[in-house]
Chains A and B, each alone.
Chain A
Amino acid sequence: MTTGNSTDTSRAALFEHPIVRVVACGSVDDGKSTLIGRLLAETESVPDDILDYARNTRRSGSTIPKGEVDFSMLTDGLEAEHEQGITIDVAYRHLYLPSGRRAIIADAPGHEQYTRNMAVAASTADVAILLVDATRGIRPQTHRHLTVCAIMGVRTVIVAINKMDAVDYKHVAFEEFAGGVRAAAARFDLDEVEVIPVSALTGDNVIEGSGQMPWYHGPTVLEALTSWRPSAAEDRSGAPFRMPVQYVVRAEDFRGYAGTVVSGTVRPGDKIVVNAKGGTTSVERVMFGDRDIEVARAGQAVTLTLETETDVTRGDLLVAPPEDLAAEHFPRPATAFAADLVWTGDEELRHGRSYLLLAGSLAVPAVVTAIRARRDVVSGEEMAARTLKMNDIGHVEISTDTAVPLDPYTLSRDTGGFLLVERVSRDTVAAGLVRHALRRAHNVVPHTFTVDQEARALLKSQRPRVLWLTGLPGAGKSTIADALEGRLHAMGMHTYVLDGDGVRTGLNKDLGFTPEDRAENVRRVAETAKLMMDAGLIVIVSLVSPFRGDRRAAKGLFPEGDFLEVWVDTPADVVVERDPKGLYAKAKAGTLPNMTGVGQTYEPPEHPDLVVSGSGELATAVDQLLDVLDVVDVVDVVDVRH
């Protein structure tokens, strides 16, 4: 395949910001669909047959005569929206600007319950078009949308005071609202606020100027969009180099790191650091497709090869070394951050619950350790809060399992923004914006103690590990754990059994048996087992832990080989027969709705480290476990010391 004859000079043109991202927002019935529809139609950004559709199709209640273009019909997409006559989801539309630039307009819904959709649209936007209805004035929604845009990093706001035709195009009506909007916008750090009197219905000041409002001398909406230029802060190529690695490209004698340059530039010979830690290395080649190029700038998707063999993988961040940078602009890896969260989940934020944090191509377990405040998006004030619900914006502290290099969001959306993902449903429950890493008083990075796991293990002459016994209630987990611990103890091993019923009377007595609570139950037991392992113990966990995802998360806390998943496999009819605690009888009677194996499913391990039978000989099961533990072999414990 030919890679074409385009030149690198055109590639450098990404620097010109050829695509302007626009978020359009406003309250319901402010005329947003009509304004966008007109912008699209009158810049010839809509095909003719779609225009015909908007001429000939009418929603019930429409007052626009057939044959004329109903501009709002150009922007409504889903059938559910047609029925309700409102915009639910974010729609993306192309606008051909006369400068050759492209505007992608994210059409965001107006209702309060869709604040999260608005935040999505604003997250990539350079410019916001905010509609205000001249017949109704500034409303809570206006403040809410300004707040969301400002938090998400939109720096230019075009305020369209719409429906000027309904207030006789009066200058005083405009000035009243324009002053109010400017005052509201002054609370935020915006580069530019342009207030324009508009009638989307008649077209005044949308594309062309208005004969009806000779008192207005500013730009039209299209002119304001066309004249937008990135501010110095938005010039990503001028910022320090950052590139998250997405993919390792391998070919014969070739190992390259593929990713998009999110800020700065990179050339062959440039020094770089992996994950903002360790030594520096140099860039050998900068490639676009299969060709070498001299320089890559922010926005380009390239492949780099490095001078030295370095262990770089997907999720790593390549950055310019610190001596080139002001110290506070360096994303030193940290495990604790202050951040703003836009909560998007159906379920509210759970303090202490483990989520997955996604940043670039990186995924690490993370816990919200403190909820500092919830922001009132109308007044802008921060108020005390215990949780965050859907559409709330709050200020939290978050800690991650491993150190991650993140920038403040105000410095970079790409390396300062992250997602929180619920670990069972895998839904995105929050968008996070890093305020700063926590390094001092609130720092939870553990102190490195002189006596460590290795030292404690050596004293005990054993290799600390976790044996995780999972299986149906009544499968025989506790019996096996008990017998195994007896044997290990007799051999002089230091052990502990963490039993499901035991922890539920103490550590986890606040938890029930819903899937969410089971997830938290497993997480806490896993963390406790980790502490005990760190103390040098062989830990035997006996826990139903019915869900694969939870067990996978637990395993993820441990180094490879230290966590052994053991499936105690006992046929269902045997456990029902045994029913040592009378649970199956209760479940059958309907008084125990979340009983595993009855009301909830048990997901057997797909790749267990060991399967033992809970219905066979107890001694056989114990022997198998001793085998896999390899307890007589203490040699590798000694080996790691020299």
Chain B
Amino acid sequence: MSSRMSSVAKTAAETAVAPDAVLDALEAEAIHVFREAAGAFRRPVMLYSIGKDSTVLLHLAVKAFAPGRVPFPVLHIDTTWKFREMIEFRDRKAREHDLDLTVHTNPEGLAEGVTPFTHGAHEHTRIMKTVALRQALDAGGYDAAFGGARRDEERSRAKERIFSLREPGHRWEPRKQRPEFWRTANTQLSEGQTMRVFPMSNWTELDVWRYIQREEIEVVPLYFAKERPVVERDGQLIMVDDERYPLRDGEKPEMRSVRFRTLGCYPLTAAVESTADTMDDLLAEMLVDRRSERSGRLIDGEGGGSMESKKTEGYF
């Protein structure tokens, strides 16, 4: 075995590439996709969820059109349950890059008092995210929407196109997706169709973090470890970000050093115990903890196809 492994190592050494080369290639591909969509579509919009992927997406958009301004509006779907630090970060970034930012909350959901606690995680997500997104896209008359989704995130995403066609009503039909040859995208739409565009399709979670490090991109501080008030529910650590979180009898938030691998609605996003408060620590931790980031998302767990079924309804 050892002789064999050294043979792999030998060929590896002969064909080794510069450490940054993969990031350069991924970056170039993403910029290419941005420019193609911005040139082809009548009214594109960029979905901005404030997380690390969105942050990288924004950085790439700025690079793609420099020294010009980002030539499309940016849309945030606010469920009203996002971490407070996320909202502060969003507004600051919008000012910094002179973005045309629209924030949308589902008014009916708000009026009905939809929360993760009263309606359950799935209904909350459906009404305040999926339905809200459809409302905002329809209201804006957008024919294309950029998103930061990656193929490595989840099993049904592995088959996602870079240019992903949506039928009228934003429905995703896996069997109607267009074949993608070379770098040539078919950006033509018939009546009622729209396009979701994923410039970072081929990035992995590790690529995202390495790129953030290399480009010195600022991210929401929640990604780094800090003493935060958390409660433990069904084995998951949930941060109590404001007084709306309904505590059970005798339950008391305790300060623990935690960080988040993905950011969403705070009652639905589990933290991990960690002391990684610098980028180097964070990358080191990622190489040891090899669980996929979505293991912290409380809505993904049920059934292997749950992302697929959410997507057919119009989820990103």
Task: List the interface of chain A (C-beta within 8 A of B).
Answer: 1-6, 9-11, 13-14, 16-19, 44, 47-50, 53, 57, 75-80, 82, 88-94, 97-102, 104, 116-117, 119-120, 123-124, 207-209, 219-220, 222-223, 226-229, 246-247, 249-251, 254, 256, 258-260, 262, 287-290, 299-301, 303, 314, 344, 356, 358-361, 363, 413-414, 417-419, 421, 424-428, 431, 549
Contacts and interface: CB of A to CB of B under 8 A. Distances in A.
A82 B304 contact: yes
B250 interface: no
A13 B21 CA distance: 5
Contacts of A53: 304
Contacts of A3: 63, 215
A11 B67 contact: no
What are the nearest 6 A-B pairs in CB distance?
Answer: A18-B21, A4-B215, A13-B21, A47-B292, A98-B12, A13-B18
Given A6-B20, A301-B35, A301-B64, A226 B8 contact: yes
Given A16-B18, A260-B32, A299 B292 contact: no
B184 A417 contact: yes
B177 A49 contact: no
B8 A14 contact: no
B22 A419 contact: no
A99 B63 contact: no
Contacts of B66: 249, 287, 289-290, 303
Nearest to B30: A301
Contacts of A19: 22, 25-26, 202
A123 B215 contact: no
A601 to B, nearest CB: 10
Nearest to B66: A290
B35 A258 contact: yes
B22 A92 contact: no
Contacts of A208: 1, 4-5, 8
Nearest to B96: A1
Interface in B249-280: none
A314 B146 CA distance: 20
A98 B8 contact: yes
A14 B28 contact: yes
B189 A426 contact: yes
A259 B216 contact: no
A247 B314 CA distance: 29
Nearest to A87: B159
Contacts of A76: 155
Interface of B: 1, 3-5, 7-9, 11-22, 24-29, 31-32, 35-36, 38-40, 59, 62-69, 96-97, 151-152, 155-159, 174-175, 177-184, 186, 188-190, 193, 201-202, 204, 214-217, 290-292, 295, 304-305, 308-309
B35 A247 contact: yes
A10 B295 contact: no
A76 B29 CA distance: 26
B201 A92 contact: yes
B270 to A, nearest CB: 13
A328 B138 CA distance: 50
Contacts, number: 259
A77 B156 CA distance: 5
Given A1-B97, A13-B20, A91 B67 contact: no
Nearest to B14: A227
Contacts of A258: 35, 64-65
A124 B202 CA distance: 13
Contact of B15 (A9, A91, A93, A101): A101
Given A1-B96, A78-B159, A227-B14, A18 B217 contact: no
A419 B181 CA distance: 8
Given A13-B20, A91-B158, A119 B181 contact: yes
B190 A99 contact: no
A97 B9 CA distance: 10
B28 A260 contact: yes
Contact of B24 (A11, A49, A116, A227): A11
A416 to B, nearest CB: 9
A419 B156 contact: no
Given A4-B215, A344-B179, A18 B17 contact: yes
Nearest to B55: A1
Contacts of B159: 77-78, 89-92
Contacts of A47: 290-292, 295
Most-contacted residue by chain B among A207, A356, A358 (CB, 10 A): A358
Nearest to B11: A227
B257 to A, nearest CB: 22
A53 B63 CA distance: 39
A397 B56 CA distance: 44
A413 B202 CA distance: 20
Contacts of A426: 186, 188-190, 193
B9 A92 contact: no
B7 A361 contact: no
Given A18-B18, A100-B17, A123-B181, 20 more contacts: A2-B217, A5-B216, A13-B21, A13-B24, A49-B292, A77-B155, A93-B151, A93-B152, A94-B152, A119-B179, A119-B181, A124-B183, A209-B7, A226-B11, A247-B35, A254-B67, A299-B25, A414-B182, A424-B190, A428-B181
Nearest to B63: A289
A80 B290 CA distance: 28
Contacts of B5: 208
A124 B162 CA distance: 14
Q: Which of A300, A356, A363, A419 has the most B CB atoms < 10 Å from its CB?
A: A419
A18 B35 contact: no
B12 A226 contact: yes
A37 to B, nearest CB: 12
20 contacts: A2-B215, A18-B24, A19-B202, A50-B292, A89-B174, A91-B159, A92-B159, A93-B151, A97-B12, A100-B12, A119-B181, A120-B181, A209-B1, A249-B67, A289-B62, A301-B29, A301-B64, A414-B184, A425-B190, A428-B179
A78 B216 CA distance: 37
A428 B65 contact: no
B183 A419 contact: no
Nearest to A47: B292
Contact of B190 (A97, A249, A549): A549
Contacts of A18: 17-18, 21-22, 24-25
B181 A223 contact: no
Contacts of B14: 99, 227
A38 B239 CA distance: 38
B25 A14 contact: yes
B214 A6 contact: yes
A360 B36 CA distance: 9
Nearest to A16: B17
A226 B17 CA distance: 11
Contacts of A251: 67-69
B67 A89 contact: no
Contacts of B65: 247, 249, 258
A314 B39 contact: yes
Contacts of A11: 24
Contacts of A254: 67-68
Nearest to A1: B62
A414 B185 CA distance: 12
Given A18-B24, A250-B68, A421-B186, A100 B39 contact: no
Contacts of A94: 151-152, 202, 204
Contacts of A49: 291-292, 295
Contacts of B157: 77
A204 B295 CA distance: 32
Nearest to A207: B8
A78 B174 contact: yes
B22 A102 contact: yes
A203 B82 CA distance: 46
A299 B32 CA distance: 10
A260 B177 CA distance: 25
B60 to A, nearest CB: 10
B304 A57 contact: yes
Contacts of B155: 50, 76-77
A17 B215 CA distance: 21
